[in-house]
Chains A and B, each alone.
Chain A
Amino acid sequence: MTVRKNQAVLTADEKRRFVAALLELKRSGRYDSFVTTHNAFIVGDTDNGERTGHRSPSFLPWHRRFLLEFERALQEVDASVALPYWDWSTDRSIRSSLWAPDFMGGTGRSRDGQVLDGPFAASGGNWPIKVRVDGRTFLRRSLGTAVRDLPTPAEVESVLAMPTYDMAPWNSASDGFRNHLEGWRGVNLHNRVHVWVGGQMATGASPNDPVFWLHHAYIDKLWADWQRRHPGSGYLPTAGTPNVVDLGDTMKPWNDVRPADLLDHTAHYTFDAA
């Protein structure tokens, strides 16, 4: 059984294996297909039209399935690997071990944002940015520049306390847990972390930065935490909502899975801590 661990507690060997599996997916071309899929959904999901991956109730189950697909791909390279998660409310400094050269590498240089250390630095030759919206082919970051602070534990708590999963109009204007977690409204959790990291993470092609997976693995854990907090609250809406994935509707691009199939993560993985 896959156990997703806090990135801060990974051993040196676990980090080495995770990085090696990422590099192999990149080398084989599989990694970039995930970037392409994400970008296609992020430009296609609109507040007043069809919306599946973002700005909609299915933001959480869509990314749960997306991460499962990615984790399975990693495990085909190395069966011991699981996705770690980054609790950015606790590991909130650019001096966190997350950004060390043996793991994600650090922030970019000021001149052009280029990441200069770690396994994904362009100078290593192993991490060409191929799925992109501009001419730059190197991984970029600007940690803590566009927004100064990552969300705090108290801000996370305020969102976990919201009892209703999602609300009409089921988009970026909604009240409720999903949209506050996604960040279009309120204290802003998920969106703010993308902005804090900067570089490709702030764009539609955000999975170009491998920290994407660690960020979303924590967003996914917060969904699980919320479910345990509110056992009487379920996924909404349940039926008949135009342009929106209801509980029993299948989701693109897979077309074989419904939110109802993804509510219980323990069928696929557990977390190292509650």
Chain B
Amino acid sequence: MPELSRRRALTATAALATAAGAGALVQTLNAPAASASGQSRPSEHTGHQEHDRHSPAPFDEVYKGRRIQGRPASGGAHQHHGGGYAVFVDDVELHVMRNADGSWISVVSHYDPVPTPRAAARAAVDELQGAALLPFPAN
């Protein structure tokens, strides 16, 4: 898994670098060490559409007994409307999306923006009340 994650992260970084310029992406390569410093500063998420496209840092934790993970993603079979970022609950992908103001929503909490993809993952665990997520597109 770590090898896969690293490969996906590097692929995503390369793709994003083409679109957005490499300057904003250094912290993605250096993640997770750089994660705490760069991701939550509101100034980075306002006024600069191009720089807004870079991904937040990865995360991996157990929340309320379930593993939640987030990492840059390359698109692949799915469209990643989070701007190249994928979130998983117990290894099943949760569809997330980034709003223009830098806030996040997921398909199980679609009308209620939260500040970060980790907050969206936690909100999903709260909402699921232990139920298994279905892979998207499930229907």
Which residue of chain A is the closest to B52 with respect to CB atoms?
Answer: A48
For B131, the chain A residues whose CB sits under 8 A away are 134-136
* Cross-chain contact of A134 among B97, B132, B137 (Cβ < 8 A): B132
Question: Which residues of A (40-62) have their CB < 8 Å from a CB of B?
Answer: 40, 42-44, 46-49, 55
Kindly specify which of B2-10, B24-32, B60-68, B99-107 makes contact with the partner chain: B99-107
User: In whole angstroms, what is the CA distance A136 to B108 when docked?
Assistant: 12
Is residue A36 within 8 Å, beta carbon to beta carbon, of the partner chain?
yes
Is residue A191 within 8 Å, beta carbon to beta carbon, of the partner chain?
yes
| CB-CB under 8 A for A132 and B101, given A194-B111, A195-B111 | no
B107 to chain A, nearest CB (A): 4
Which residue of chain B is the closest to A112 with respect to CB atoms?
Answer: B129
B contact residues, range:
20 to 34
B33 to chain A, nearest CB (A): 29
On whether the beta carbons of A134 and B99 are closer than 8 Å, the reply is no
Is residue A29 within 8 Å, beta carbon to beta carbon, of the partner chain?
no
For B129, the chain A residues whose CB sits under 8 A away are 112-113
The 8 A CB mask of A26-48 against B (1 = contact, 0 = none) is: 00000000001001101110111
B89 to chain A, nearest CB (A): 9
* Cross-chain contact of B110 among A42, A48, A136 (Cβ < 8 A): A42
Is residue A131 within 8 Å, beta carbon to beta carbon, of the partner chain?
yes
On whether the beta carbons of A135 and B134 are closer than 8 Å, the reply is yes
* Cross-chain contact of A191 among B95, B100, B111 (Cβ < 8 A): B111
| CB-CB under 8 A for A146 and B112, given A132-B139, A133-B107, A203-B107 | yes
For B98, the chain A residues whose CB sits under 8 A away are 47
Q: Which residues of A contact B (CB under 8 A)?
A: 36, 39-40, 42-44, 46-49, 55, 112-113, 130-136, 146-147, 169, 171-173, 183-184, 190-192, 194-195, 202-206
